[in-house]
Amino acid sequence: MKPKLSIVFMTVILFFNISSYGNAEERKTNSWITKKEASLPPMKHPKRENKNPEEFKNQPFSVNKQSMAGPIIKIKKPDPDKLYQDLIDILIHFDKNPMGESVDMASLRVIYLKMFGIDITDRILPYIKETRIDANGVKFPEGEHEFEIRIKDKEKMESTQVFKIKVN
């Protein structure tokens, strides 16, 4: 490699290292949802089809309900049973369904389930790495937050999964 070219190459690498460090620090203070959005009433879940509605009167909506025709959604973090006090790490993997095609990350949608669905996908884009969402230290307002993840594979087969985050 020529000396001039190697100096330019090292300068570019150094620039990217410094700039990515700054972005990581900014991300730690970001929130995926606002306090105003968090204060909205929860979304009413669709009525269950059953013969006896009294059976489900006191049962909460199932947060692990999912449709898995497309990619497999694996929520590694956060733990749905844990009550969080501070910044939250989020790790969600999207794997190819053994009977399907590869994951189409451009089809990813993350919906905050409040009075109406709030698409927060644009707020999550900086945390997408290959076929996963990897976010450390995300701040959420106090309360219970429910999200729906939708993603398709290259054949347009969709999977959805709902998960909750509880913040004290």
Nearest partner of 144 among 33, 30, 9, 8, judged by Cα: 33
Please tell me the distance from the alpha carbon of residue 146 to that of residue 165, in angstroms, as a whole number.
6
**Could you tell me how far CA 159 lies from the centroid of its own chain?**
14
Q: C-alpha distances in angstroms, 73 versus 59, 129, 165? A: 25, 15, 16
- pLDDT tops 70 at residue 58: no
3-state helix, strand, coil in the chain (%, to 5): 25, 40, 35
Task: Give the end-to-end CA distance of the chain in Å, rounded to a whole number.
Answer: 56
- pLDDT tops 90 at residue 163: yes
**Could you tell me how far CA 47 lies from the centroid of its own chain?**
25
What pLDDT band is residue 43 in, cutting at 50, 70 and 90? Answer: confident
Q: How much of the chain exceeds pLDDT 90, in percent?
A: 49
- pLDDT tops 70 at residue 52: no
pLDDT digits (tens, 9 = 90+) for 100-112: 899 999 999 999 9
pLDDT digits (tens, 9 = 90+) for 73-88: 999 999 988 999 888 9
What pLDDT band is residue 27 in, cutting at 50, 70 and 90? Answer: very low
Cβ contact 155:103 at 8 Å: no
- pLDDT tops 70 at residue 28: no
Cβ contact 146:162 at 8 Å: yes
Mean pLDDT of 88-97: 94
Cβ contact 54:79 at 8 Å: no
- pLDDT tops 90 at residue 9: no
Q: Between 56 and 40, whose confidence is greater?
A: 40
Q: Which residue ranges form the domains of the chain, and what is each CATH number?
A: 31-167 (2.60.40)
